[in-house]
Chains A and B, each alone.
With several copies, the nearest count.
Chain A
């Protein structure tokens, strides 16, 4: 497993809100544990603001199965966390710059066709009309324009991944 594959795994984890991956395969052993809102909250005082119902995660989230199939009792349902302590805050430090968000729901593609080079790579300079990706929705390939000027700092979504409305796609350093 090379560095690129590990990076992709991490990206998939982030996109799919996976907390932990333990993989053992053909002599390779890897364990990746994400910083989660829950672990970030440890040591917090209970005297803070009262808990609220908040959907903590931006992005398409899959809830853990409601109950363990058998064996030990399932964990207590995930505690609801105050808005400020959601994943967004935890991820903030790595998000310097402006985000280009998805204007629609669909599937994210970095290139115009399979095998073709991506529209943009990290480091690329973009203008307002630069096509930066495609979001496929209802069999239509929608070319998404940057609508801002700057330099791509990070691609936030893996090629071929589903995206929801308003989901950050690229991180851009304005120039």
Chain B
């Protein structure tokens, strides 16, 4: 083609919106985690121009987070205690690679106040709240007390740790059965048991203390009123070092088995704008009072009368954060990094907009026909879905190994639609397209849920699976 354009720059086509100079957050971030969340953090860093260091156990040498990071350091053997929980090796890895910050992801060391403290001492920025906040909000009994003091309704129960069965019995008779016994150091559904009378409570306390001692190195347990088939509704909060705390609305995570979430969505199908304002406001007020910094989640139970009760707080990024991201058009991991670097949040509460409806299904290597037992193995075929409104967060690929050493999550499948109906139909379509062979997955279970009339109607609680699945 003839080139006759002699002076291409002489007449600009109008004002070009030149971007402001990029803010400097960190030079290099080490990700003290594995799997999809490590990849999630790497993605955010790449988009921000920050270098990344992956750490990995010898079992994870072929993982995508190792492949996609700028640098990688082997930190130990397959057992988590030898690698992803091995604080000296992780800190050393940060030092030898000259990383100036560590992102802990979720699980592993994400809510370990002494890890946050050690980072501080080594002048490595921990991307999360300071140690005292993790300690205060991470201890379930202390957090409940803090929330209650800030005026947030809490489930009636013991004021902190119960010493012995006799104390527990007195409290249970005051608040009424059924009650639930929880380990103060527990999480992810572990260390919980329900008691319906004095006898089961007495044996339950003793067993729970023994279990908690073994599982968490802390035998503290507390009891609270056990709500009947409540909804699990949580509020995503973000705080910075400039006194700002905002919330990004709620997530309904009621579809659980053994207190482990399988499906999350936002908005909660029974939510009203007024209730969202109340719950969001309560979460924000309590976090502001506590001086909360970073991303966090305030978990509530919502009963049939639309009363909500604080349950616990997670002082880290949550597995299910993408549903919030897609309806609010935010990037929570980038906000974490901004805030950790001392910058203010990039948006105010008034700028938070909710658009559409999002659902996340956790695609686990599990056999739903045999009580969701994990099915580790090698993926012989892997083909994720695509097209409009579909997001896949996954570290999986063809021939990758879902290792028995770690959790069974293969992928998080997130869809967004104009409304809940479109989101459900899109999820069905995407689940149908998802081709995974070599291990059993929860895809058939999710397809069943998407067709279930109770789920579709929206008024389900945490007992949904027990009540409806396989019946």
List chain A positions with a Cβ less than 8 A from chain B.
Answer: 46, 50-55, 58, 60-63, 66-70, 72-77, 79-80, 83, 104-107, 137-138, 162-167
**Closest CB in chain A relative to B234 CB, distance in Å:** 27
Given the interface contacts A46-B380, A61-B72, does A137 sit within 8 Å of B445 by beta carbon? no
Please name all residues of chain A whose beta carbon is closer than 8 Å to the beta carbon of B58 when the two chains form the complex.
165-166
- The one of B92, B380, B451 in contact with A67, judged by C-beta atoms closer than 8 angstroms, is B451
In the complex, are the beta carbons of B451 and A137 less than 8 A apart?
Answer: no
Would you call B213 an interface residue if the criterion is a C-beta within 8 Å of the partner chain's C-beta atoms?
no
Please name all residues of chain B whose beta carbon is closer than 8 Å to the beta carbon of A53 when the two chains form the complex.
62, 64, 67, 383, 397, 399-400
9 A-B interface contacts by CB (under 8 A): A46-B380, A53-B64, A74-B448, A75-B444, A76-B440, A104-B88, A137-B88, A164-B74, A165-B58
In the complex, are the beta carbons of A60 and B67 less than 8 A apart?
Answer: no
In the complex, are the beta carbons of A66 and B444 less than 8 A apart?
Answer: no
**Closest CB in chain A relative to B257 CB, distance in Å:** 13
CA A11 to CA B432, docked complex, whole Å: 30
CA A69 to CA B432, docked complex, whole Å: 14
Would you call B70 an interface residue if the criterion is a C-beta within 8 Å of the partner chain's C-beta atoms?
yes
Restricting to B418-471, which residues have a CB under 8 Å from any CB of A?
428, 432, 435, 437, 440-441, 443-445, 447-448, 450-453, 470
In the complex, are the beta carbons of B453 and A70 less than 8 A apart?
Answer: yes
Q: Which residue of B lies closest to A61 (CB)?
A: B72
In the complex, are the beta carbons of B73 and A80 less than 8 A apart?
Answer: no
CA A60 to CA B71, docked complex, whole Å: 7
CA A73 to CA B367, docked complex, whole Å: 12
**Closest CB in chain B relative to A165 CB, distance in Å:** 4
In the complex, are the beta carbons of A70 and B451 less than 8 A apart?
Answer: yes
**Closest CB in chain B relative to A135 CB, distance in Å:** 8
- The one of A51, A75, A105 in contact with B93, judged by C-beta atoms closer than 8 angstroms, is A105
Would you call B381 an interface residue if the criterion is a C-beta within 8 Å of the partner chain's C-beta atoms?
yes
Q: Which residue of A lies closest to B397 (CB)?
A: A53
In the complex, are the beta carbons of A73 and B445 less than 8 A apart?
Answer: yes
CA A4 to CA B278, docked complex, whole Å: 72
**Closest CB in chain A relative to B226 CB, distance in Å:** 29
CA A54 to CA B397, docked complex, whole Å: 11
Q: Which residue of A lies closest to B381 (CB)?
A: A51
In the complex, are the beta carbons of B67 and A55 less than 8 A apart?
Answer: yes
Please name all residues of chain A whose beta carbon is closer than 8 Å to the beta carbon of B450 when the two chains form the complex.
67
Q: Which of B71, B89, B92, B432 has the most CB of A within 10 A?
A: B92
Q: Which residue of A lies closest to B122 (CB)?
A: A138
Given the interface contacts A61-B71, A61-B72, A66-B46, does A79 sit within 8 Å of B61 by beta carbon? no
CA A54 to CA B95, docked complex, whole Å: 26
- Over the window 231-254 of chain B, the binary record of Cβ atoms lying under 8 Å from chain A Cβ atoms (1 yes, 0 no) is 000000000000000000000000
Please name all residues of chain A whose beta carbon is closer than 8 Å to the beta carbon of B381 when the two chains form the complex.
50-51, 80
Q: Which residue of B lies closest to A165 (CB)?
A: B74
- The one of A50, A70, A79, A104 in contact with B452, judged by C-beta atoms closer than 8 angstroms, is A70
